[in-house]
Structure 1
């Protein structure tokens, strides 16, 4: 039997599944232990690479096990629908974009120690952390 690792990109899906390891047969002994050990390495690495502000995304990273037509699998999953809708932006980043006020006539922010107002702001974009993809690469 062989072990296959399949990394899938699911866009900005808030319930992202990045890793699926499949091994043939139930209770394969050494293969099950290897699958379990590798999935735990990916999980630990993903929790190390994620950027933390509130901890919600960090605590949402988990393992989900099951059996499919090809045998046992373990998914490393990040995100909770409704709580971590920003997962795609964190993982993949954003392109430069314009921010406009939604509820008021102007945006209010502090720059250089002074309160400023603007009708729009050019955001430079953010770099993605790619924490799930990096965790998969690091755990190999």
Structure 2
């Protein structure tokens, strides 16, 4: 198996609220929208974020696992991260997310990794980190470099 992820899919309790938040609130464009089932957004070259209606997600998982499966249908201990170019942009993105209906979990502040970050939860509690990380770089070939940065 190659070291690669093509889809990240999260169960969401209310797909209509998720659609309103991401499309109307944040201005994202869906790649595919199947009402009452799943909503896909392209988030990077060759990478999709799927928001799967929780009951449909559970039914899909149960096909091979049986109805007594203990597989969770809600993310836990998991965040999606959105890196931006400046400290100010972190605060702008957090503000826009809040205006769109997100809950600010952690307001923007200096981070242990030497940058600046904050967290919000979308209307279905999917956690997002918004970060300015001066040690994060993406080369022309798409390869990521993470370098330690001394905290200020």
The TM tier, using the shorter chain, reads: under 0.3
Taking CA–CA contacts closer than 8 Å with sequence separation of 6 or more, which of the two structures ends up with the larger relative contact order?
1
| TM-score for both structures, normalised by structure 2 | 0.24
Larger Rg: 1
